[in-house]
Chain A
Amino acid sequence: MSARPGERQKPKIATVSLAGCFGCHMSILDIDERILDLAKVVEFSRSPINDLKKFDGRCAVGIVEGGCANEENVEVLREFRRKCDILVSLGDCATMGGIPALRNSIPLSECLETAYLDGPTVVNPLGRIPSDEEIPLLLDKVYPCHEIVKIDLFLPGCPPSAEAIFSALTGILGKSRPDLPYELLKYD
Chain B
Amino acid sequence: MSETLESTVRRICRSHGGDPTRLMDIARDVQDRFGCVAPAAMDLISRITGAPRVEVESLVSFYSFLSRSPKGQVVIRLCDDIIDRMHGYHRVARAFSEELGIGLGETTADGKISLERTACIGLSDQAPAALVNEVPVTELSTDRAREIVAGLREHMDPRRLVTRSGDGQNAHPLVRAMVRNNLRQVGPLVFSEQVRGKAISNALAMSPAEVIRAVKNARLRGRGGAGFPAGMKWEYARASTGERKFVIGNADEGEPGTFKDRVLLTELPDRVFAGMTIAGYAIGAKEGILYLRGEYAYLRPYLEAVLAQRRSDGLLGPKVAGKNPFAFDIRIQMGAGAYVCGEESALLESCEGRRGDPRNRPPFPAQKGYLGGPTVVNNVETLCCVTKILEAGPAEFAQHGSTGSTGTKLLSVSGDCRLPGIYEVPFGTPLAEVLRLAQGEDAFAVQVGGPSGQLVSRTEFTRTIDYENLATGGSIMVFGPGRNLLEIVHAFLEFFADESCGYCTPCRAGTAFLLRMVERIAAGRGEPADLARMEELGLTMKAASRCGLGQTAANPVLTSLVNFRPVYDALVKEDPEGFRRSFELDKAVMEAELLSGRRSKHAGIEKGGHR
Contact = CB atoms under 8 A, between A and B. Distances in A.
A71 B595 contact: no
Interface stretch (A2-10, A21-29, A141-149): A141-149
A133 interface: yes
Interface string B567-602: 000000001011110110101111111011110111
Given A71-B585, A75-B602, A133-B598, A150 B580 contact: yes
Nearest to B577: A82
Contacts of A186: none
Contacts of B589: 71, 137-140
A149 B592 CA distance: 22
B607 to A, nearest CB: 10
Interface string A9-33: 0000000000000000000000000
Interface in A98-154: 108-109, 112, 129, 131, 133, 136-141, 143, 146-150
B579 A138 contact: no
A74 B591 contact: no
B529 interface: yes
Given A148-B579, A150-B578, A140 B591 contact: yes
Nearest to B598: A131
A147 B600 contact: no
A18 B603 CA distance: 18
A111 to B, nearest CB: 10
Contacts of A150: 529, 575, 578-580
B592 A81 contact: no
B591 A108 contact: yes
Contacts of A136: 601
Contacts of A58: none
A114 to B, nearest CB: 13
Contact of B596 (A82, A131, A143): A131
A21 B30 CA distance: 53
Contact of A146 (B575, B580, B588): B580
A108 B578 contact: no
Contacts of A71: 585, 588-589, 600-603
A146 B591 CA distance: 22
Given A75-B602, A150-B529, A108 B595 contact: yes
Contacts of A140: 587-592
16 contacts: A71-B585, A71-B600, A71-B601, A71-B603, A75-B602, A81-B577, A82-B577, A129-B595, A133-B601, A137-B598, A140-B588, A140-B589, A140-B592, A146-B580, A147-B583, A148-B579
Given A71-B601, A140-B590, A150-B578, 4 more contacts: A71-B602, A78-B579, A109-B591, A147-B583
